[in-house]
Amino acid sequence: MKILELRLANFRNHKKLILNLDYEIVLLTGANGAGKTNILEAVYALSTGKSIKAKYDRDMINYTARFTTAGADIENSSGKYLLEMQVIKEPDASNISSKKTKVNKVPKSLVSFSGIFNSVMFSPEDLNIITGSPSERRKYMDAILVQTDKNYKRNTSAYLKAVRQRNKILEKIAEENRGRDEIGYWTKKCLEHGTYIQEQREKLFDYFNKKLPETVEKLNGKDTAVEIKYLMNEISEERLKKHEEHEVHAKTTLVGPHRDDFCIFHNKHNLSEFGSRGEQRSVMLALKLCEINYIEQENDERPVLLLDDIFSELDENHRSSVFNILEQQQTIITSTEPPDFLSTKSNTHEIKVL
């Protein structure tokens, strides 16, 4: 898996940018604010069809422009592809935009587009996955699974549509005492698609629980009890029926994967509440290494690794662990200055971002 060339138009601060990335290790250097992270954001968006950091798609558009386009020539085990994603502002709507995706210049659905190119991004902000809200952790699960399972994206889109329709009917029942004859159809759709989503999430967490403890142990050089718990808000016919009256009063669907979460226990303590920043950073690095291996297991190909200014955050042991995997896949690194340890990597190509 490799990205050969990246082309950006009106992507955040990059009005027009073309980068040759056809190297094993790419180092993007430049001052803070030059837009190095924005380049990684664009690369990652070509994997999942979504920004890793923007709340709304239109946040990726340069504030002076009406649209943004991110395009790339990529290569995977199936061959070479030309990928393009365009986000267009809707006039007179503050947060609404439309999105178009193409593969080899042919319009494709987001389901068909996502996962052709795979990447894993690691940045200091990833600690929010551990310490932030449940929505951050659901976004993390989804970003992995849309790259490994085409049906996951399809089921997620269908599930969220079903939840929105079901919520409208719940509101109608609560406020107008009508619509009970309509709710059954959307309940069935929620059950169908929600069950698939939770099955795939269970599979992911089974893998994490097998691999995470040994990965943390290798990083830290000592035996550490680590467990990642999938807090499934199980969707089932019985639970939906049981909670239906509560949902009518709340005017929203209370059961299903849109309320899933997970937490990590480190030496039997909740890492979010009781872990030090160092412990959180160590486990997050281990989780990212497991993420790379999971995508490789499912797709028979290692994803591109995106490292966003992480080395100042890591101690020597953890820097060494990252250093040892740099050449196992294409790696793109951002840093204000070239890290000293990269001087021994002759296959590193530096690009200055101005």
134 with 319: CB under 8 angstroms?
no
Annotated binding residue 108: no
Could you tell me which of 125, 145, 152 has the C-alpha nearest to residue 136?
125
The residues near 261 (Cβ < 8 Å, ≥ 6 apart) are 134, 137, 138, 231, 233
Annotated binding residue 35: yes
Cα three-residue angle 219-305-139, rounded to 5 degrees: 90
Annotated binding residue 31: yes
Annotated binding residue 9: no
Annotated binding residue 38: no
Question: Assign residue 277 a region: left if phi > 0, alpha if psi is -120 to 50, beta otherwise?
Answer: alpha
The residues near 129 (Cβ < 8 Å, ≥ 6 apart) are 136, 137, 140, 284, 287
Provide φ and ψ at 29, rounded to 5°.
Answer: -115, 155
Provide φ and ψ at 121, rounded to 5°.
Answer: -115, 135
What CA–CA distance (Å, rounded) separates 44 from 98?
19
Q: Please give the torsion angle defined by the CA atoms of residues 185, 188, 193 and 199, in that order, rounded to the nearest 10 degrees.
A: 170
First and final CA of the chain: distance in angstroms? Answer: 27
Annotated binding residue 101: no
Pairing state of beta strands 304-308 and 119-122? parallel
Residues belonging to the binding site are: 30-37
Residues belonging to the binding site for ATP are: 30-37
